[in-house]
Amino acid sequence: GAGVSQTPSNKVTEKGKYVELRCDPISGHTALYWYRQSLGQGPEFLIYFQGTGAADDSGLPNDRFFAVRPEGSVSTLKIQRTERGDSAVYLCASSLGNEDTEAFFGQGTRLTVV
């Protein structure tokens, strides 16, 4: 029983570069979430998918951030022109998509922009 898988586990990139972070949700989970967690803080919501569509992208901080889930399973979070302030742990979670169901989180990708 595989859980939520995120790759890479660590990513170091130079300021201004483009990065992609991948999330493999639990099989059969229709809902997928991206969160960002800075040191000493709680997870901050970025975007939520129900199936292939972004049902709520209100947490994306600006237009440098974009996420896709083309086949309703794997999702990729894309960050253009990275800035040092983007450094954080990016968490992905999935759930069955009902209101009363909990989300299961991956181990996260630690992004460091130097």
Q: Which residues contact 73 (CB under 8 A, 6 or more apart)?
A: 24, 25, 27
Q: Which long-range contacts (CB under 8 A, 24 or more apart) does 67-72 make?
A: 67/34, 69/32, 72/30
How far is residue 76 from each of residues 7, 8, 87, 98, measured CA to CA in Å? Answer: 10, 11, 17, 22
Q: For other proteins, which stretch binds (CB under 8 A), given 11-19, 21-29, 35-43, 72-80?
A: 35-43
- Residue 33 lies near other proteins (rule: CB under 8 A): yes
Among 41, 62, 71, 84, binds other proteins (CB under 8 A): 41
Among 67, 103, 111, 113, binds other proteins (CB under 8 A): 103
Closest CB to other proteins among residues 63, 100: 100
Q: How far is the CB of 100 from other proteins (least distance, A)?
A: 4
